[in-house]
Amino acid sequence: MAAVSPSAAIPPKRPGRIARIFKEPNAIWMREMRQSARLGRTPWILFALSLTISLLMCSIGGIAATDNASPASLGGALFQTFFSIGLFVVMIIGPTAAANSIASEREGRTWEAVLLTGLSPKDIARGKFVAAYTSIAMHIVVLAPVGALPFLFGGVTPVEVVVAFAFLFIFAALAVAFGLAVSSLMSSLRGAIVVTLILAICIGPLLYALFGFGTSFAIHKLWSDVPEGFPVWLPLAYTRAPFGLEYVLLLIAVPLLLILVPAWFLYEVTVANLTGETDDRSTGLKRWFFACTPLLALACALPGAVALTEDERVKWSVMGETTFAAYVGFCALLFAFDPAGPSRRVLVHWRRMNAGVLRRFFGPGLPKTASLVVLMGFLGLLGIAAIDLVALYLQPAASPTASSSWTYLSPYSPTRSDRLAQIFVFGAYCAPYFVFTIGLVAYFRSRGHSPWIARLIAGAILFLAGAAPWVVAAIGGVVTSSHDDTWLVVAAPSPFFAYAMVGRYDHPGTSDDTPIVQAGLACAIMWGLIGLVFLVLAGRKCARAVREQNALFASTEAALRAEDDVRAAAAVAPLSETAGAT
């Protein structure tokens, strides 16, 4: 073995980053490709898939042709059908193919061997991603000839078809990244596949309905050349929409944001899951959170700031804040994985690389993470409200808006100050309640519960806080046969009460003097204070855990040092005796 020792060889000059991609392809990718090449069933699956979709397209084309449709509309229908099917294929097959990869290593007990080769979690994640992506890309390529069928009829341009294929590849990448993230979390192959499939089947159609059908109506309003009700509208919009600010915003900036933010998130989740528990699993995800949260806050604030009417501005603002609150709430639960403090390994790593304050802040440590999430979330929620408030305040006074607001039967038309108050009170409830959410999660995590247990307990409490007040209010209203809003106040502790507060401004003084807004604000302050208390308690618990750990290390180190001293003395003694003898 000594003859072949790699250390004995003269290391060759290392090629550049780009050259390395071709000269030293990812080892995991190469191995997975070799394995896939020996899988006999792959060609048959591809053949069956292309045959089925070809027949389906021909059937649909045949049915549509009998309806005296023009060739152009037939081509458009085939285009929509093919790419809708293509989307579902990548949304189902992509995650499943990826789910197979990491979980199978863990189940097959090959994982530790790979980990000990020195390949970094990032290398492994990239290798796995490229391998799974190659597989799903092969499916898309096999389907490409079928996708060219609309050309025979017209109705779509070649550029639109090419752009549609490009988006299919991008969605496939997202689908694979999603499958990998789930797979990296699971140790059982079957579990990974089942969970991924269930999530893909649930989320896929939802996204298709929301960003496909749903958005096509709004886009058609903006650009009438883009057909209404056609789910695959995005590739068409690129060629049919006039170039301008909206074009850049809606067809370049927003799609980029919607693709890059989840892609980066899924990548960081995968890497964190592949990283050892005592290594730094936090920095990547915290960087993602730090970079993306302001962008998302801005994206959530923009519709409310640019909507045409005051009424729409309030609606979009509330919707934006709701979306952002859901996002930061998810992040609060996500970051429950963080340990009380950085491990010894991480501390030594920091010390060696002279890590600065910022790098350490983004490293592992529950109190630091909770502070970051609270700060970003709180500021984000207030920021959205502030942007929308300022935009609404600065908007020139237009003709009174029609009352199509939260209470449709109300004859009252809210004034501008009502609209401002609506945006303000919603943000004023959401922000403190978010502090409570992150405080709750951090507290349970700091008590030594595992991340999933902490999430489960916090989730259950949040569910109770959200639902129970409404149940009590409903029962109270029914028992007392109350027809006013008196019992509604009981629901004030629920975060959904913020909507009731907003609605209050649509019909003030119509029924009674129940202090809905005051009660809501009081509860918001209460939640905020409780959240702060939880955060302080979590910080103390983490500090105590770290102190205990430090004391344990210190005592062990002292014992080891004492032993070393004894050994050193024993080693030196014979030398001095020898010296004395000579």
Partner 1 sequence: MTEDAPLSQPPSSQGPTSWLDQTSAPAIRVRHLWHRFGKLDVLRDVTFEVGHGEIFGFIGPNGAGKTTTIRIMATLLEPLSGRVEVDGFDVSVDPEAVRKIIGYMPDHAGVYERVTVREYLEFFADAYKVAPDANYSVVDAVMELTDLTKLEAKLVATMSKGMKQRLQLARTLLHDPKVLVLDEPASDLDPRARIEIRDLLVELRSMGKTIFLSSHILTELADVCTSVAILERGRLVVAGPISDIARRLEEAAAQRQAQQPSPQVQVPREQPQQQLQGTLPAAGMQTAILPPQQQPQQNVTTEMPAAGYRQTEIEPAPQTISVPRRRLKVRAFGQLPAVQSALTGVPNVYAVSQITNGLFLVTYVGDDQTIAAIVSSLVAAQIAVAGVEPERSELERIFLEVTKGEVQ
For partner 1, the binding residues (CB under 8 A) are 1-7, 9, 11-12, 24, 27-28, 30-31, 34-35, 38-39, 108-110, 112-119, 276-278, 340-345, 347-352, 360, 543, 546-547, 549-550, 552-557, 559-561, 563-564, 567-568, 571
* Least spacing, CB of residue 353 vs partner 1, in Å: 10
Q: d(Cα 489, Cα 51) in Å, to the nearest integer?
A: 61
Judged by CB, which is closer to partner 1: 34, or 483?
A: 34
* Least spacing, CB of residue 403 vs partner 1, in Å: 58
* Least spacing, CB of residue 459 vs partner 1, in Å: 23
Judged by CB, which is closer to partner 1: 364, or 469?
A: 364
Coil/strand/helix, residue 257: helix
Judged by CB, which is closer to partner 1: 529, or 546?
A: 546
Judged by CB, which is closer to partner 1: 329, or 342?
A: 342
Task: Give every CB contact of residue 324 below 8 A, 6+ residues apart in sequence.
Answer: 296, 297, 300, 380, 381, 384
* Least spacing, CB of residue 189 vs partner 1, in Å: 12
Q: d(Cα 144, Cα 172) in Å, to the nearest integer?
A: 14
* Least spacing, CB of residue 1 vs partner 1, in Å: 5
* Least spacing, CB of residue 337 vs partner 1, in Å: 16
Judged by CB, which is closer to partner 1: 188, or 550?
A: 550
Judged by CB, which is closer to partner 1: 125, or 521?
A: 125
Q: d(Cα 88, Cα 94) in Å, to the nearest integer?
A: 10
Q: d(Cα 518, Cα 501) in Å, to the nearest integer?
A: 9
Q: d(Cα 240, Cα 162) in Å, to the nearest integer?
A: 15
Q: d(Cα 39, Cα 138) in Å, to the nearest integer?
A: 14
Q: d(Cα 270, Cα 102) in Å, to the nearest integer?
A: 10
Q: d(Cα 407, Cα 125) in Å, to the nearest integer?
A: 50
Report CA torsion sign: 146, 148, 150, 151. Answer: negative
What does DSSP assign to residue 230?
A: -
For the stretch 205-214, contacts whose Cβ atoms lie closer than 8 Å and that sit 24 or more positions apart, written own/partner, are 208/84, 208/87, 208/88, 208/91, 211/258, 212/84
Judged by CB, which is closer to partner 1: 360, or 507?
A: 360
* Least spacing, CB of residue 31 vs partner 1, in Å: 4
* Least spacing, CB of residue 339 vs partner 1, in Å: 9
Judged by CB, which is closer to partner 1: 113, or 397?
A: 113
Coil/strand/helix, residue 397: coil
Task: Give every CB contact of residue 133 below 8 A, 6+ residues apart in sequence.
Answer: 172, 173, 176
